[in-house]
Amino acid sequence: MAKLDGKVAVVTGASKGIGAEIARNLAAEGAAVVVNYASDREGADRVVKAIEAAGGRAVAVQADLSEPAQVARPFEEAVKAFGRVDVLVNNAGIYRFAPIEEVTPELFHAQFDLNVLGLLLATREAVRRFGPEGGSVVNISSVVATAAPPSSSVYSATKAAVDAITRSLAKELGPRKIRVNSVNPGMVETEGVHAAGFAEGDMRVQFEAAAPLGRIGRPGDVAPAVAFLASDEAGWITGETLDVAGGFR
């Protein structure tokens, strides 16, 4: 029996990268999955097709979680398609590194509106639909919440906020049998990392030099940790932040 048999999971920002691998992994563990995307319909459809080809169940649902009016959509569609919601993975997020001279209200709000407010509103929608048996929320944070590299002041602040939200909501929602944890990846090789020019740059060299395991991560390094925290195997774990970063601190 797979660890998520009978569960329904909503994965935000799941059209590519870490989110796509999380969606595929949850499906492989038995969950029916809502693959949320903001703009990459083609990528989301590929994830759905891969899940279905492997014998799983999934639907793609568009919603830009930085827009409050759209946040409920993936959860409404989850109930329509699969009848319930048991797991939320808050993966949708963006990062823009900038020195302090280039920090603007627009840069601040672009990251905080999605990485923090979008996460809170998505969690609110999931909590409204979890049954009496509770549910599991897994937030995708980052080691930058504590490492805070140069020129990451806004992005690091969003992830520090995610970690604080994780601890607070775990205490608030525990009496309702809802667990809230976060997975904090280090540098992971994704389409976004390549597009930003980080995959072969100084940041990679610095990360690999500081990580005891000596390499950056892959999406497949992160997804199994999410599946574990989402499952009943982690039934006595809440309010925790799990670094998945090759030992990087």
The domains of the chain are located at 8-188+222-235
Residue 214, C-beta contacts closer than 8 angstroms, at least 6 positions apart: 208, 246
117: left (phi over 0), alpha (psi -120 to 50) or beta: alpha
Helices (H) and strands (E) in the chain, counts: 10, 7
Tens of pLDDT along the chain (249 residues)? 799 999 999 999 999 999 999 999 999 999 999 999 999 999 999 999 999 999 999 999 999 999 999 999 999 999 999 999 999 999 999 999 999 999 999 999 999 999 999 999 999 999 999 999 999 999 999 999 999 999 999 999 999 999 999 999 999 999 999 999 999 999 999 887 877 777 777 889 889 999 999 999 999 999 999 999 999 999 999 999 999 999 998
Write down the pLDDT at residue 203.
Answer: 85
Q: Which residue, among 211, 222, 206, 205, has the nearest Cα to 249 in the 3D structure? A: 211
Task: Verify whether residue 37 is a known catalytic residue.
Answer: no
Q: What is the dihedral of CA 99, 190, 241, 158, to 10 degrees?
A: 30
Distance (Å) of CA 199 to CA 196, 215, 219: 8, 11, 14
Give the type of residue at 101.
E
pLDDT at 193: 81
pLDDT of the residue at 164: 98
From the candidates 97, 130, 155, 198, give the one annotated as an active-site residue.
Answer: 155
- How much is the pLDDT for 56? 98
E strand intervals along 114-165: 135-140
Cα end-to-end span (Å), the chain: 36
Q: Check residue 150 and report its DSSP letter.
A: T
Angle at 216 between CA 202 and CA 156, to 5 degrees: 70
**pTM above threshold 0.85:** yes
CATH 3.40.50.300 is right for the domain spanning 8-188+222-235: no
Please report the sign of the dihedral spanned by the C-alpha atoms of residue 236, residue 242, residue 247, residue 249. negative
- Read off the tokens for 7: 């569960």
pLDDT at 22: 98
